[in-house]
Amino acid sequence: MKELILGGARSGKSRLAESHALSLFNRSKDLPKKMIYVATAKAYDDEMAERIKHHQQSRDEQWQLIEEPVELAKILKEHDHKGSIILIECLTLWLTNLLCHSEANILNSEKQKFIQQLKSSHADIIMVSNETGMGVVPMGELSRRYVDEAGFLHQELAQLCDRVTLVIAGLEQTLKPQ
């Protein structure tokens, strides 16, 4: 099962993703299961460090935390087992890391590797991302590229996923039912 959960900042998408992961974990008794939380955030300032700390404190010991800001495909490949539940938080932060990376072509390379690994994965994967295409068009070139890249990524992932959910004010709106 692959799921994409989209929403605005503070919409409740992370809480919903964790809830869906726990539901998957508790559902099947046949396989040994592992819950893996892949965090893509980098603490560039105190405010982001505080957000990361808040997320870390809100999770219990059932989660294995992996902090990976760039190489998501590598992490998916390493944990590609039936019974693995992988929650990726958050794809738009991952895109930011790639757009701001010193290596010029890393965005396309890592995105292609991620999509290919996602297509062949046996793990249950829940991806969280900010829906950025519902607001004003940004003025700066980098900001416009970020919104464009997020939109293209979301469209591609929505086609691959079994379920797509939009979260608004803590309420989930099913866009693509499982």
- Residue 54 annotated among the catalytic residues of the structure: no
Residue 45 has pLDDT above 90, yes or no: no
Q: How many CB atoms lie under 10 A from the CB of residue 86?
A: 25
What 3-state class would DSSP assign to 102? coil
> For residues 146 and 99, is the Cβ–Cβ distance under 8 A?
yes
Cα–Cα distance measured from residue 15 to residue 13, given in angstroms and rounded to the nearest whole number: 6
Lowest mean pLDDT among 60-64, 77-81, 124-128, 151-155: 60-64
CA dihedral (150, 153, 159, 163) in degrees, to 10, reads -60
Q: Can you identify the CATH homologous superfamily of domain 2-176?
A: P-loop containing nucleotide triphosphate hydrolases (3.40.50.300)
The predicted pLDDT at position 135 comes to 76
Q: What is the pLDDT of residue 71?
A: 97
pLDDT value, residue 151:
95
Domain boundaries, the chain: 2-176
One-letter amino acid for residue 97 of the chain = N
DSSP state of 68: -
Residue 57 has pLDDT above 80, yes or no: no
* Rounded Cα–Cα distance for residues 98 and 100 (Å): 5
The CB density around residue 113, as the number of other CB atoms within 10 Å, is: 16
55, 81, 122, 154: which one is catalytic? 55
Structure confidence at residue 175 (pLDDT): 97
> What's the confidence (pLDDT) of residue 47?
81
DSSP 8-state symbol, 5: E
How sure is the predictor about 131, in pLDDT bands with cuts at 50, 70 and 90?
Answer: very high
pLDDT of residue 46: 81
Which residues have a Cβ under 8 Å from the Cβ of 47 and sit 6 or more positions away? Answer: none
